[in-house]
Amino acid sequence: MRRERVRDLLAQVADGSLDVDRALATLALDPSESLGYATIDHHRALRQGFPEVVYGAGKTPAQIVGIACRIADRGDGVLVTRIAEDAAAALAAELPGVEHNAVARTAHLRPSTPIAAARARLLVVTAGTSDLPVAEEAAVTADAMGCATDRLTDVGVAGLHRLLARREMLDEAGVIIVVAGMDGALASVVGGLARVPVIAVPTSVGYGAAFQGIAPLLTMLNSCAAGVTVVNIDNGFGAAMAAARILHS
């Protein structure tokens, strides 16, 4: 249960629109709930400001639907990442308001009480067209966390003027996520131009010695631009969560 929702409940009690017993029942729910195959951490929203996100890979559609419904029952929004087509269909059948983004492989149900808006905008920069699914996962996650997102697409360093021509976008963002595969060099260039926090996401785009993303991962970890941080390969979700931690602080 998110802080905003607890505050709402208390406000409703205060103005008489919710009676005390029903408010109590809602607040008294157990912070974690076991489904046998999963133990849902309902307190995560209170503790960290956003509810537990469901990692869809390796879970059956039935498990995903089961977990998502339990979270939705509490009035929290639900975000599922790495969701397969069949699981997304099953989820949509059960929770009608769910938005499925096939490129990002996400399913998102917005919470009844809107999440608080972040203090600045996020910019997601990609090196190439093939990096879009990861960038999209970041954008959907950021949206779910209350962060508005701008995009700057296909501005890899092989054609540097594409980036330099849009340099003002780097100056206006609150946080920048750089998504790049292959040589991953874009993170260093953006890191050297921008003042704000830069989070680099290596992608598994490429072949041969790209080693499914190891090459850009190493590039980014060794960025000569000081203060660039890195998340796991293809982890658009994690980059957006890190951005949300910054933009809500």
Q: Does 209 bind its own copies (CB under 8 A)?
A: yes
Which of residues 98 and 191 has its CB atom nearest to its own copies in the complex? 191
Instruction: Give the residue, chosen from 5, 49, 122, 146, that forms a contact with its own copies under the rule CB under 8 A.
Output: 49
Q: Is 194 in the site for its own copies (CB under 8 A)?
A: yes
CA dihedral 38, 41, 45, 49 (to 10 degrees): -90
Q: State the number of binding residues for its own copies (CB under 8 A).
A: 102
Q: Which residue has the tokens 């980059």?
A: 239
Residue from 83, 127, 139, 179 binding its own copies (CB under 8 A): 127
Question: Is position 31 an interface residue for its own copies (rule: CB under 8 A)?
Answer: yes
How does DSSP classify residue 182? T
Residues 66-85 that bind its own copies (CB under 8 A): 67, 82
Token duo for residue 221 = 């970890």
Q: Does 224 bind its own copies (CB under 8 A)?
A: yes
Residue 63 beta carbon to its own copies: minimum distance, rounded to whole angstroms: 6
Judged by CB, which is closer to its own copies: 106, or 223?
Answer: 223
Distance of CA 114 to CAs 3, 111, 147, 207, Å?
A: 11, 6, 12, 42
Return the sign of the alpha-carbon dihedral for residues 185, 209, 230, 110. Answer: positive
Cα separation, 98 vs 182, in Å, equals: 34
Nearer to its own copies, 15 or 136 (CB): 136
Which residues, other chains included, contact 16 with Cβ-Cβ below 8 Å and sequence gap of 6+?
Answer: none
48 binding its own copies? (CB under 8 A): yes
Question: Using an 8 Å Cβ cutoff, are 69 and 100 in contact?
Answer: no
Does position 242 interact with its own copies (CB under 8 A)? The reply is yes
Give alpha helix (H) positions in 60-173. Answer: 61-73, 85-94, 132-144, 160-164, 167-172
Is 160 near its own copies (CB under 8 A)? yes
Q: How far is the CB of 19 from its own copies (least distance, A)?
A: 29
Q: Is 174 in the site for its own copies (CB under 8 A)?
A: yes
